[in-house]
Structures are given as structure tokens and as C-alpha cells.
Amino acid sequence: MNNKMHLQRFALSRRHLLRNFGAGAVAAFGLSFTAPLRANPIFASYPFQLGVASGEPSADGFVIWTRLAPDPLAIGHGMPAASVEIGWEVGADDRFAQIVQSGTAIARPELGHAVHVEVSGLQPSRPYWYRFTAGRERSAWGRAVTTPAAGQPLANLRFAVAGCQNYEQGYYTAYRDLARREPDFVFCYGDYIYEGRGDRVRNGPDGPVETVRRHFGDEIYSIDDYRRRYAQYKMDVDLQAAHAAAPWFVTLDDHEVDNNWVDNLDQDGTPPPVFALRRQMALQAYYEHMPLRASSLPAGPSMQLYRRAVFGDLLDFNLLDTRQYRSDQPCGDRWGVECADTRRAAEVLGVRQHDWLANNLRRSEATWSTLAQQVMVMDLDRDPGPGVTENLDSWAGYRQPRERLLQAIRDTGKRNTVVLTGDEHQNYAGELHLDGKNPDREAIATEFVATSISSGGDGEDQRSATKEIQAVNPQLKFHNSQRGYLLCDLTHERWQTEFITVDKVSVRSGTVSSRKKLVVEPGRAAITEA
């Protein structure tokens, strides 16, 4: 082999290692070279304006995240087109008196100067604190909690469920309250951002309503658009507090890309190859801003988001993806119509994800199994009058996949499955039946639907229309139309869901209170009051 061919093969190998494994892998393979890298940068403005976050906790570690953005809403976010070295450390206490792990990471321009450090080698079932440095700048610190080892006895667990946080429609008061409670983790079910243009007014039930605060820019399509929208949301200090308080498990719904999208289809009839480009940019920006592992790094317009977490012998936590593998909505995705096409052959999870979930449910030995997902499973007739009206963008628009899902739950014979859902901008609690609503037969699972953090504005305690819906749907046990989040407290004896609500999100002085506490016992899929 001549020297020229040898150097060409060496260059390809080096590029392959950098692309797939990062600079650490190059060092590990004994390859040295000079690359554009700024190890001691000087910033014109504070670079950690988007805060810090942790996620994907395991028994020996978690992901810690930040993104350098001295000028968050500018194209290029105030950073040079070069890689920058970031230092990180994990402490045993919030004063960092004992540093248990530390190292450096590379913030690359290809990923918007975001870093995802996968920390390992920690002790199970305990809190840690983390922070970052870049040049002379230091980030705020965050708190993360490792999970118990699989099968390890665990007496109790507390976690929060939140999402649907339209920036224009309200303040994130609920997130500040969530942060004060320091749960073991947070499940965000999606709609972390909204893709629409900035508008001064929106339509309300009584006419035009002025938006509480305004999106920057027009509807988002490009990678720079999506990055700036995430930056605007992440500059909210209440959201930053919630991220810093606990590790998050995240999944996306529709607004991270475009309203009601599924697979390579959007609501505007865009040619699928063109929409796939938008989806690719949206998913890259999502990865850049979420505390996800490298296993979720997008490949083209797709990314791996369904996954499982285990909390000792108490909880098996299955995170689902109900967008990437779903068939198109029936009947043109029109609201408020009767539609025979809901019975057509279709998919929500796709075959591979469904089989993965069914296997997890069968082999689970934990007291509780959870489906953490996006759209309502409960079978609700949304029209109290004659005929049946359903939300076609929920599982109700997909009767065959819904039946397969409920059969997989029923076949476990355990009646210990709890479904956690968002999307509806209302709180719901109800029982799931294989044959829809049938109060004369025992339920096979329960579902708690979390309201929004801000989407929909202030809301009210109970809508009159939803009261009528509950009257004709006996499987629906509770509803509420205010903003807030869920707080779930688990033991081996019971699952308690507390509905935390905010009276107003149109002002920063909203009052947070506990609206309702509902309980489920393992082996009996029935909801009772605490």
C-alpha cells in the first residue's frame, strides 16, 4: 500500500470515529490530530442562558445537558462556528464539597453547541448535583437522582407528569411549584414547544384574547427556527427551575414538529419527502435541547424514543412514541364527526413497538407497570346527544390498535397498569375497558390525563360541556379544566395521583393548590378518592 492510500484510509477512519463516537474515541484508539477547538473561550454574554438539565436516570448514572448560547435568539446563538470545550462535574452535595465525577465534553456547532454527558459509575437510588464550566463561566447547578437497581426493594417513589406548555398562552407557575417538591423524576409527555407564528391575539371562547407573551418569529421550519423557539422557551426561569430540580424522561407529541403530524404526513398536504425534511430538522433541534442519550440521536427524519426504565421492584416505566409510526388520522382528522373509518386497519405504535411493549408487560415483576404516552386511550363519547363523536387524533380514532393494546394489558392478568397521558389540556381520570365503556364489567387498567402547564389559558374548574360528557361516560371518574400537573406517589399498597392546579396562568401571581387526590390499588383497576 502506498503512503497516499494509507493516509486516505487513516483520514476516513478518523472521520468515522469522530462522527460516531466523538473525540474521546479518537484518543482511545491512539489517533492524534489537530481539530478546530476552543478550550478557553471568552464570551461577550453569559453562555448558559438556557439553563441545565438532567435526564434518563439509571441505577449508576444519568445524562446531564446544557447548551452554550450567549445570544439565544440570534442565528448562530452568539457562538463561533467551532467546537468549544466544556467542563463538567458531579458532586455528592449541592456545595460540591465532594466531587465524585468530572470531565470535559465538546460542544459542537453541528448540534447547536449542546452537550449530552452520559454520567456513569454512580451509586443507585440517591441524589447528586452537577454543573458545567466554559472558559471563566460557570452554570447554575442541577439535581439528579439515580434509580434503584432492577429488582431492588423500593418502598416509595414520587414523580411528576407535565407538558403542553404553549409560551404565548400563560406563565409556567406550575413548574416553579413542581421544582420546590423535588420529585424523583419528571415525565414530560410532549408539546414542549409550539410551532406557530408569534401572534398578539388569539381566539378565545368569548372573542379575541391578547396573548400573555409572544413567540419570536413566524411559523418554524428551518433548524435555526426550531433552535430559536426552543431557546425562547428554555429562557423561562420557572422551566429552568423544574429541569434543575429533577431528571426528566421526555417524549414528543405533535407541536414539536407540526400540529397533528403522523409519520411523514402533516395537516397541510405537504408532499411527504418535503415534510420529512422539516421533521428531520425538528427532531434534531428536539434532541439538541433534551437530556437524551446518544441512542436517541436522530438518523435522518427518525429518532429512537420508545424505551423502558425500571425502578427497583416498584415500577416498570414504559415510554411510548405515538407519532412516528402512526397511520394517518381517519376522516380527514376532522373534529366532531361520526366516522366509520376508525375501525380500519391502522397503527399507532407500529408492530415492533407494540410487540416490545407487550413483552415488557408480560415479563414485568414490579408492583406497577406504566404506559407513559401522549394521547388519550380512554373511550369517550364527546357528544352527549345522539350519535358518537370522538377525538380522532387520540386512540379513539384507531379502534383496532386500541383493542390490541388493551388485549395486551388484559393478557397479563395483573390489573396493575396505569396509563399516563397529556394532550387534552384538561385533567381526566378514568378506567379502561376492553369493550369501551362498560361499568358492569371490571376495568383492566386506569388512566390519568394531565392537563397543560399553560396551553389553553387560565381555564376553569369544570367546563359545563365536560360535565355533560362525564354524565354519559361512566368510566370517566373525574375531570378538571385548570392548568397544572400531576404528582404521583407510589407504594406497594397503592398508587396516588394528586392533581395540582393553578387558578390563573395569565398572570405571574397565580395560586397553586391541590384539586383532587385519587387512588388505585394493585390488582384492582378501579379509581377511588384518597
User: Residue 388 has what pLDDT?
Assistant: 73
How many CB atoms lie under 10 A from the CB of residue 335? 11
What stretches in the chain show pLDDT beneath 50?
1-35
User: Residue 40 has what pLDDT?
Assistant: 86
Q: Compute the distance between CA of residue 160 and CA of residue 453 in angstroms, rounded to an integer.
A: 12
Q: Compute the distance between CA of residue 134 and CA of residue 154 in angstroms, rounded to an integer.
A: 38
User: Residue 333 has what pLDDT?
Assistant: 82
Q: Compute the distance between CA of residue 494 and CA of residue 368 in angstroms, rounded to an integer.
A: 9
User: Residue 337 has what pLDDT?
Assistant: 67
Predicted confidence (pLDDT) per residue in 376-398, tens digit? 999 888 887 777 788 899 999 99
How many CB atoms lie under 10 A from the CB of residue 66? 28
Distances in Å between the alpha carbon of 373 and those of 190, 251, 377, 450?
Answer: 9, 7, 10, 11
What are 152's three cell numbers?
Answer: 431492588
The string over 413-450, giving b where at least 16 C-beta atoms fall within 10 Å of a residue's C-beta and e elsewhere, is ebbbbbbbbbbbbbbbbbbbbbebbeeeeebbbbbbbb
Residue matched to cell numbers 472521520? 15
Q: Which helix (H) or strand (E) holds 180?
A: helix 173-181
CATH superfamily for 38-145 is: Purple acid phosphatase-like, N-terminal (2.60.40.380)
What are 429's three cell numbers?
Answer: 381520570
Residue matched to cell numbers 376495568? 443
Q: Which of 86, 79, 84 is nearest to 105 (CA)?
A: 86
What is the domain class of 157-483 according to CATH? alpha beta
Residue matched to cell numbers 397503527? 347
Cβ within 8 Å of residue 58, ≥6 positions away: 120, 146, 147, 309
Cβ within 8 Å of residue 53, ≥6 positions away: 64, 65, 66, 142, 243, 244, 248, 290, 291
Task: Show me where the domains of the chain are located.
Answer: 38-145, 157-483
Tell me phi and psi for residue 311, to 5 degrees: -115, 85
